[in-house]
Amino acid sequence: MTKTTPTVLVTRRLPSAVLDQLAQSCAVDLHAGTDDLPHDALCARVHGKDGLICMFNDRIDASVMDAGDSLRVIATVAVGFDNIDVEAATARGIVVTNTPDILTGATAELTWALILSVTRRVGEADRAVRSGAWAGWTFDFMLGSELRGKQLGIVGAGRIGRAVGAVASAFGMRTVFAAKPGVTGNAPSDEEVVSLDELLLTSDVVSLHLPLNPSTRHLINRRTLARMKRSACLINTSRGPVVDEEALAWALDERLIAGAGLDVFEDEPHVHPSLLTRENVCLTPHIGSATRETRGAMAGLAVRNVVDVLGGRGALTPVNG
């Protein structure tokens, strides 16, 4: 490689075909461990790099950008970019990119997996069989609740929220959307839009599809949880801090809601201890986009963005213009 070959730090192992593609035009410094790259190590390794490919859980603040004073592009392998100080990047002329669209289907699928797991008690039933607690078929063992005729309330009518809503009619559900300030996307049609308050009061399943920002942090709190039907469940496949986990544990303890399906948490990988012990809560480890197809496509798009920017072309999916 010549001296002018751009260098790129990659904070997590990506599929080898994608890394090979990056290596065709860039020198790659790969953090190959399965652990997070600690912030000070990230700052040390980003020094002198032209590009950075990071994950949603790498904190990319101004100190990383100051350490990486040659950076021209930061590409996150995620749709959410709340971990990146985009304003600081813009001020330094650094292009920030994300991976929208390609993970919509996978995340919508996982959302439905959680909805069905909670309403039909799939996790609890699996545990009962494995532990020997199933003594034989009885008429009223593990009764769940049915989706047909119920209302799905989607908070956040962006791509993923709409993809989740598109499936609801197949289960005989009606769908309402609550669009909030600071939330991207518009609801598909006016008659399906209700206030957040009305959505919480009337929905049987409330599903969150919001970016994390100051206006959505702890949007679901003691007050909003108390608005929900006692028979309703809460699903979150967006960002953990949209839900005040302490308040959720309280609402479940007080039986203010019937259950929850959570793929994301306030302080990953830590989960509120009371949620861990509850049978009416289904927990998955932030796997919304975790299909072979989608993760490969996300990595490919991040690499494409880096190669394009470092090659003097525009990024395909920039978040800062």
- Catalogue the active-site residues: 239, 268, 286
Min separation Cβ 295 and ligand GLV, Å: 10
Integer Cα distance of 112 and 168 in angstroms: 9
Rounded-to-integer distance, Cα 19 and Cα 36, Å: 19
Interface with ligand GLV, residue 265, by CB under 6 A? no
| 172: CB partners within 8 A, 6+ apart | 147, 148, 149
Q: How far is residue 308's CA from residue 296's CA, in Å, rounded to a whole number?
A: 18
Per CB under 6 A, 177 contacts ligand GLV: no
Q: Which of 119, 203, 224, 289 binds ligand GLV (CB under 6 A)?
A: 289
Q: Which CB sits closer to ligand GLV, 15 or 144?
A: 15
Q: Determine, following the binding rule CB under 6 A, whether residue 56 of this chain makes contact with ligand GLV.
A: yes
Q: How far is the CB of 80 from ligand GLV (least distance, A)?
A: 3
Q: Which stretch binds ligand GLV (CB under 6 A): 10-18, 26-34, 75-83, 156-164?
A: 75-83
**91-130 binders of ligand GLV (CB under 6 A):** 103
Among 79, 228, 262, 299, binds ligand GLV (CB under 6 A): 79
Query: How many angstroms separate the CA atoms of 235 and 282, rounded?
Result: 9
Among 37, 52, 78, 252, binds ligand GLV (CB under 6 A): 78
Asked whether 269 and 285 are in contact (CB, 8 A), the reply is yes
Is 80 a residue that touches ligand GLV (CB under 6 A)?
A: yes
Give the separation between CA 225 and CA 234, rounded to whole angstroms. Answer: 9
- Whichever of 232 and 242 has its CB closer to ligand GLV, that residue is 242
Nearer to ligand GLV, 239 or 272 (CB): 239
What's the rounded Cα separation, in Å, for the pair 155 and 179? 6
CB of 238 to ligand GLV, least distance (A): 8
Stretch that binds ligand GLV, among 14-22, 72-80, 182-190, 250-258 (CB under 6 A): 72-80
Do you know the residue count of the chain?
321
- Report the 3 state secondary structure along 85-126: CHHHHHHCCCEEECCCCCCHHHHHHHHHHHHHHHHCCHHHHH
* Residue nearer to ligand GLV on the CB measure, 150 or 159: 159
CA angle 197, 201, 203 (to 5 degrees): 110
Between 205 and 210, name the residue whose CB sits nearer to ligand GLV: 210
Minimum CB separation of residue 300 from ligand GLV in Å reads 14
* Per-residue exposure over 144-160, b if at least 16 CB sit within 10 Å of its own CB, e if not: ebebeebbbbbbbbbbb
Residues contributing to the site for ligand GLV (CB under 6 A): 56, 78-80, 103, 288-289
